């Protein structure tokens, strides 16, 4: 294992006990409550200065249902860290990283509308790729792919070709 990864693993053993390296990326499994703390340590102590991505995976049928996945990159070490946290459907809340990274604003908005993950501390969770008034979270596995919510209603008598 890369020496930096070893150091991170030792330093964050309390918050992220279960660490592994997969395809060259250090994977940290953290509790939802420790997200902000781990991200802050990664940024301040280990120079992971770039917040590259956040998304979620919907493990429908499992408990807790959602897995939020963050990717960080260090421009100094040229290494990546992935942080994962499982949250339940009843309370899909994790801390927002907007206090640490400007890029969190937009990416958390997308994850929020697509999966319904609530990023506590991000004051602006307006729809970003979808539109105001869109119902549901389309990337959840129980959202049917064919479901349409046209913002502009179809003309009277119009039927979408190929649809029942």
What is the contact surface with other proteins in residues (CB under 8 A)? 22-23, 25, 49-53, 55, 57-58, 69, 71, 73, 75, 78, 80, 82, 101-103, 105-107, 110, 114, 124, 126-133, 138-139, 143, 145, 151-152
Residue 87 CB, nearest distance to other proteins (Å)? Answer: 16
For residue 9, how many other CB atoms are within 10 A of its CB? 17
CB-nearer residue toward other proteins: 33 or 129: 129
Q: In the numeric block, which tokens belong to residue 23?
A: 């395809």
* First and final C-alpha spacing in the chain: 55
Residue 37 CB, nearest distance to other proteins (Å)? Answer: 20
Tokens 């602006």 belong to residue: 124
Residue 118 CB, nearest distance to other proteins (Å)? Answer: 18
CB-nearer residue toward other proteins: 93 or 103: 103
The DSSP secondary-structure symbol of 44 reads: H
Tokens 């280990």 belong to residue: 46
The answer to whether 158 touches 150, Cβ cutoff 8 Å, is no
CB-nearer residue toward other proteins: 82 or 95: 82
């Amino acid at each position: 294992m890369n020496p930096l990864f070893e150091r991170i693993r030792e330093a964050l053993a309390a918050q992220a006990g279960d660490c592994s390296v997969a395809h060259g990326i250090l994977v940290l499994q953290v509790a939802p409550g420790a997200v902000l703390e781990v991200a802050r340590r990664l940024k301040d102590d280990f120079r992971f200065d770039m917040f590259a991505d956040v998304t979620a995976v919907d493990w429908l049928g499992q408990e807790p249902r959602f897995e939020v996945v963050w990717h960080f990159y260090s421009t100094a070490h040229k290494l990546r860290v992935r942080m994962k946290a499982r949250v339940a459907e009843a309370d899909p809340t994790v801390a927002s990283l907007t206090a640490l990274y400007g890029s969190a604003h937009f990416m958390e908005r997308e994850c929020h509308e697509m999966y319904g993950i609530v990023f506590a501390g991000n004051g602006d969770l307006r729809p970003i790729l979808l539109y105001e008034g869109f119902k549901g979270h389309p990337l959840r596995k129980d959202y049917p792919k064919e479901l349409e919510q046209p913002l502009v209603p179809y003309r009277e008598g119009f039927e979408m070709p190929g649809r029942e």
